[in-house]
Chains A and B, each alone.
Chain A
Amino acid sequence: MGAIEVHNLSKSYGKVQALDCVSFSVERGELFGLIGPDGAGKTTLFRLLTTLLNPDSGSAEVDGCDTAKDYLAIRSRVGYMPGRFSLYPDLSVEENLQFFAALFGVTIEDSYELIAPIYKQIEPFRTRRAGKLSGGMKQKLALSCALIHRPNVLFLDEPTTGVDAVSRSELWDMLSELKECGITILVSTPYMDEALRCDRIALCNEGRILKIDTPEGIVRGFDKRLYGISAKNMFALLEKARTAEGVEDCYPFGEKHHLVVREEFDEAKFVAQLGDIEGLQIIRTAPTIEDMFIKLMKR
């Protein structure tokens, strides 16, 4: 029995199908990532699992409790950190934490050692109003509040959106530590590079889950050869490469274009076909999760 079990969950807002028959399960103590662009249905999934919404069809179990029948039990067993900062901006850091602790019938001292690694960093500012904290500190406070009642399952909806690179990395370190304490973590992010920090990830798009595997497994599933190409005129290169023989797909990827090729592709022939393009470079490259995502999305 996993910590989170989702069976054929669907939810639509009017004509928009936010979630379309989604199923997956998360093991206890696992750090599970939902990776997908904006509008993939990640937030809807979180709201369904935290009992804020009712599904149109399908069912889900969190920590052994059905989200529809045992919603009250779920609420005291899960911690939820919404994507938007949603604590009281007019209360101080300490007051916010005390308030949420009291709502769950605990005190800060009860869970201090669990939240200490995170809370210690903002403790010097405990009399400051939450609304006046910096973005990274707000996230730390929100995480502390979500953990104050020692939840078994932690839901983090895009915790790194709008947070600087250092704080992002710190946050992922904290999540790894929490995982060591046995807390199951479901985290969503639009950033593919963060996916590598998860035990397993689900790639999702437009309300569907495209693939679930470990980050390595996902990359391994990319069974085509991949090249990184660049030239002086990147746009012309993209146009020409797309029409070249043996090329399955070509798309911009950072400062290069990624070229996905079929079996019959020949590098020398490809260069000849492109004709004269200034500063052409072509290097065999290892695929990333993003390459896999693009491939799955196009299918």
Chain B
Amino acid sequence: MRTFIVLLQKEFLQIRRNSFLPRLIIAFPILIMLIMPLIMTMDVRNVNVAVVDLDRSTTSQRIASHIEASEYLRLTHTTTEYPLAMDALEQGLVDVIVQIPDHFERDLMVSTPEQISITANAVNATKGGIGMQYIVQTIARTLVELRGEKSPTKLSELVTIENRYNPTLNYRHYMIPALMIILFILICGFLPALSIVGEKECGSIEQINVTPVSRLTFTLSKLVPYWIIGLFVLTIAMLVARLVYGLSPVGSVGAIYLGAALFILTISGFSLTIANFSETMQQTMFVMFFFIMIFMLMSGLLTPVDSMPEWAQRFTVILPPRYYIEILRSVYLKGTTITELWPNFVALGIFALCFNTLAALTYKKQA
């Protein structure tokens, strides 16, 4: 136990001595939490729309003005010639073209009119796709309005929409938990590995290996400092989320910290295992990057696991971040309790145990 404390003191002394690490540990979470939620948004705004109005009626004008009034759409061109609008689309000035056919208003009154055609630039699939949906909604609303003016029941009130848990459908509230996990992966995934490989590179690990320090003690002394740092980073991130974005967890903070404690252990143990197999910093960095890409893109941090192909969904079972993101999102947004999430906590616990045992076993020293 005394040896462990001595090793721990040495680790913290080295972190403090480093001119870069202490600043990184404080500045990195703050910067990521301040800037990234503003940038990483899937809300599509500023969709440029051209209206090709062949009808020139009050209905078509009403559609155009509704497009103009939408906070997501921007009416940039109004024309009567489709080729002109198409040119603008090709030049990238316009994202979606709406063509209202001739006699649309008249036909609407008496029979089924010719269809309104919508052409979207789908190079940016998200913008094209979501932009198109906004247009369809806008047109539908206009038509409902028109009908409503002519009939006693107001159709618009037939449908009500409610977004549970994230009432304003704020994309940031969905992303902030993911950012916290990315912070853990970057800080607690890289630093312990670099710390061990650093000792290999400067040769001091050789000197440690001829002392009676056991490999378990040494591995723990590399693990615990980053565990403490990880929880500190979580605290900063949660404070920023609350102060800047007004997002505080609906559920218990304890559940979040318990999950974090297990998740950091998992990711640090994983990183130590990689470090044990590497000889140089470059090797460690590249191998870690490989796994971090998989963790970030496949664990449901950025895109929902449910929309992945069947085989990929099955694969996510072995990705630890998948379990913690579920905990973090449901505790933060829904207020789910530990009792309901117990399978996730158990999974994280098993991962933590496995990776750290592996880290201690693969450490190359006799016993």
Contacts and interface: CB of A to CB of B under 8 A. Distances in A.
Interface in B102-127: none
Interface string A78-97: 10101011111111000100
Interface of A: 50-52, 54, 71-72, 75-76, 78, 80, 82, 84-91, 95, 99-100, 102-105, 145
Contact of B367 (A71, A76, A89, A95): A71
29 contacts: A51-B210, A51-B366, A52-B206, A52-B209, A52-B365, A71-B367, A75-B210, A75-B211, A75-B212, A76-B212, A82-B206, A82-B207, A86-B203, A87-B204, A87-B207, A88-B14, A88-B202, A88-B204, A90-B18, A91-B10, A91-B17, A95-B13, A99-B6, A100-B207, A100-B211, A103-B7, A103-B211, A104-B211, A105-B3
B267 to A, nearest CB: 25
Contacts of B212: 72, 75-76, 103-104
A51 B204 CA distance: 16
A86 B206 contact: yes
Given A75-B211, A86-B207, 15 more contacts: A50-B210, A51-B366, A54-B366, A71-B366, A71-B367, A75-B210, A78-B210, A82-B206, A88-B14, A88-B202, A91-B10, A99-B10, A100-B211, A104-B212, A105-B3
B42 to A, nearest CB: 44
Nearest to A95: B13
B203 A85 contact: yes
Contacts of A102: 2-3, 6
Residue of B2, B13, B211, B212 most packed against chain A (CB within 10 A): B212
Contacts of A103: 3, 6-7, 208, 211-213
Interface size class of B (residues with CB under 8 A): 20 to 34
A88 to B, nearest CB: 5
B204 A86 contact: yes
Main secondary structure of the interface of B (DSSP, over half): helix
Q: Which 7 A-B pairs have the closest CB atoms?
A: A86-B203, A102-B6, A80-B210, A103-B211, A90-B17, A75-B212, A86-B207
B2 A105 contact: yes
Nearest to B3: A103
Interface string B329-367: 000000000000000000000000000000000000111
B309 to A, nearest CB: 43
Interface in B15-29: 17-18
Nearest to A88: B204
Contacts of B3: 102-103, 105
Contacts of B10: 88, 91, 99
A54 B207 CA distance: 17
A158 to B, nearest CB: 13
Contacts of B207: 80, 82, 86-87, 100, 145
B218 to A, nearest CB: 10
